[in-house]
Each structure stands twice: as structure tokens, then as C-alpha cells.
Amino acid sequence: MIATGISAISFYTPHRYIGLETLAEHHGIDPEKFSKGIGQEKIAMPGHDEDIVTMAAEAAKPIIDRYGADGIDTVLFATETGIDQSKSAGIYVHQLLGLPANCRNVELKQACYSATPALQMACSYVARKPDRKVLVIASDVARYDLDSSGEATQGAGAVAMLVTANPTVLEIGANSGVFTEDIMDFWRPNDRRTPLFDGKYSTLRYLNAMTEAWKDYQANGGHAYDTFSHFCYHLPFSRMGEKAHGRLAKANKTPIDMDKALSGMAYNRVVGNSYTASIYLSLMSTLENTEGDLTGNMIGLFSYGSGATGEFFDAKVVEGYADHLFTKRHQDILSERVSVSYDEYVALWNAPNVVDGTSEPLAEEARGRYRLARIDENKRIYIDQHA
């Protein structure tokens, strides 16, 4: 059987953030409610000219620059904060990156889960056509109402993955375990810009979906728990990953070794929730923040999307993987960000909502290559600032 998986993986997050100590001060609460209670330190804040398209293009551009676009004939864009009910956000990215015209392009949705079926479908496709490549992108802006219980779990970011046969970073295993149930733990009707949710209920259903997906993974020939050196989880907040890891260890009657999961939480703590990108930000964090060579190690991954669908699957680290990472770039993106005051945060949170067909030019705030220049007669106009 042809090995398939990830040959490059890159992420992007905006250049501004609000520190959760600032949010805690505004609400008059102990900062440790955030730093220890949910394991978060910062929330990434996009400018009004940044969105899921600009972040996606920024995440994918380093991959295209290093490996070229030859062989890419499919773009799968996963998001739960889509910008159009009809047109795939990936088509905008396709144009910005100058990808080949002979390319299929679709958007996938199922809360925070959809990047995982995108990855699985991409692996199946390149197994059938090993000379082709698939660009999988997960990009989201997580926004909750101001002063709500979810406010501290906001964030923004994008992850791009180049999926190929004979991968150079991670081989995705053929076995997985899945679970779906119809619940209302988190949802966003078409007329709302922010979601509705039941946080405590969602946490419980997340853990149940993980347990059931793990059982299904085992029933389908999955690896034993002690085979894995590391685990990555969907991270709406980092403490959720700790809860999940503890539950999985308990289900396998094994002492909890939190070191197997902590390296995967490093980036999430300072970016915040990135919905579909979250688990792959955790995967990247594991690869780039774990000391020593991971070659040959097995990583277990649990992907969850409210509503709800969960999947447990595995990945094997390929020899020479470190040569295909973008660690220095990612470290620079995070270290060069700037913090904002509470008032600046509120101004960023209140993004313009242009729905009446008028023209709305947007202030030049993005520091990256790509920006949303304006919305003109309900048409989104993106530009490459280096063109």
C-alpha cells in the first residue's frame, strides 16, 4: 500500500493579540482563572482587513514558495467561519497563490472537525493518484460575545498542509475511529455572527465522543495506547486537552503522563482557539516544541467538532521530517506580535458588517502579504501587497 500523508505543514496567526491578564483586569477577576483555569495566555486578534482567506494564503504561501505548485490539483478548505454561503473561500486563496487553473476547489464544514475529513480524503486521493498533491487548509476566526463565558476562548489562525504520496513529514495511518451524535452543544445560525453554546455540556460530549472514537479505532485495528509517544487533541482551550488526555489514559487503565500531550499545547496557549486549525496547530506544536528526534514515533490525534463528530487516528513521524518544518518562521510570527489594550481589542472585535451592497474600503492594518482591501457591492476584493 502506498504511504500517504503530510509533506509540509505551516501556520499563520495575526500580528496582534490581547493578553488574558488584560481581559481579567477589565472583568475584575484573578488572571489565574485564565492562565490556570483554562490554560490560556493570549487571544489572537485579526484586523478588519484580515480574515480566513488572508490567513489561509499566508499559511500556504511558504509551502508554495518552497515546493512549488506543480502537481497540486485539489484545494480543500476547512472552516466554520465561512465568508460566503455559496463560494468556497479556497477559490480566493487559489487566485492569491497563483495555483494552476486545472484544480478542484471546495469548502468543508462540520464545526471544528472538517479539516480532518479533508486530510483523510486527500490521503485517499493521492493514494489513487500518487503523482498528484492536495493543499488542505484549515482557517478560522473564533469569536464569542463580549462579556460572555466563552470570551476568553477566542482566537484566530490558519494551518496549511501539503498532502502527498510518500510523505516527508508524517505518514497518516489507514485506521481511524469515528463517532457522531446529534446534539446542541455549540452552533451558529445563519443570522448570527457569534455562536450559541453550552460550555459544560460541550466539554462532557467532547470527552464522550473521544472515548467512543477511541473504542472504534481499537475495533478497526488501531494501535495500542502505549504505542504512542505523543497525543494531540482539538484544543478549544488548553485545559480541554489536559482533560482529554487524562480521560484517555484512564480509559486505558494507564497512569497519566501529561508530558505526552503538553508540547502540543504550546502554540494554542498563545494563539487561542482556531477551530478547524486547532488540532493541526497542536500537531505542529508537537513537532516543533518536542526535544529530541521524533523519527519513527507514533502520534495519536483526536479531532472533534461540536454538533457532534469525533475521530481518532494516528500519524507516524517520517525520517528527515525536521528539514521540512517552518519552525523559525513560526517562532518569528509569534515573537513579533504586539499586544493591544482592552479598548483596542473591542475596536478589533467590532468588525464592519457590510451587507447593504455599498462599497466599504478597509483600513490597511494587515502586516502580512495579503489583505482584504474592500467590500464593493458585496464582492470581497483581496490583494497581494507585494504584487
Which residues, including other chains, have CB under 8 Å from residue 343's CB and lie 6 or more apart?
none
Q: How far apart are CA 243 and CA 206, in angstroms?
A: 10
Q: How far apart are CA 171 and CA 188, in angstroms?
A: 34
Can you count the helices (H) and strands (E) in the chain? Answer: 12, 17
Residues annotated in a binding site: 30, 144, 243, 273
Catalytic residue among 80, 107, 171, 242: 80
Beta bridge pairs of residue 163: 6, 134
Cell of 278: 486547532
Catalytic residue among 112, 171, 245, 311: 112
Which residues, including other chains, have CB under 8 Å from residue 265's CB and lie 6 or more apart?
39, 235, 238, 241, 242, 282, 285
Active site residue 234: yes
Q: Phi then psi for 200, rounded to 5 degrees?
A: -65, -40
Q: How far apart are CA 242 and CA 25, in angstroms?
A: 26
Q: CA dihedral in degrees (72, 78, 81, 84; nearest 10)?
A: 50
Q: How far apart are CA 20 and CA 357, in angstroms?
A: 37
Q: Which residue has the cell 498542509?
A: 161
Catalytic residue among 234, 245, 324, 330: 234
Residues annotated in a binding site for (3S)-3-hydroxy-3-methylglutaryl-CoA: 30, 144, 243, 273
| Amino acid code (one letter) for 91 | I
Answer for the pair 254, 246: CB distance below 8 angstroms, yes or no: no
Q: Which residue has the cell 498532502?
A: 163
Active site residue 48: no
Q: Phi then psi for 131, rounded to 5 degrees?
A: -85, -5
DSSP 301-332: EEEEETTTEEEEEEEEEPTTGGGG--HHHHHH
Burial of 322 (0-12, 13-18, 19+ CB in 10 A): middle
Burial of 179 (0-12, 13-18, 19+ CB in 10 A): buried
Q: List residues with catalytic annotation.
A: 80, 112, 234
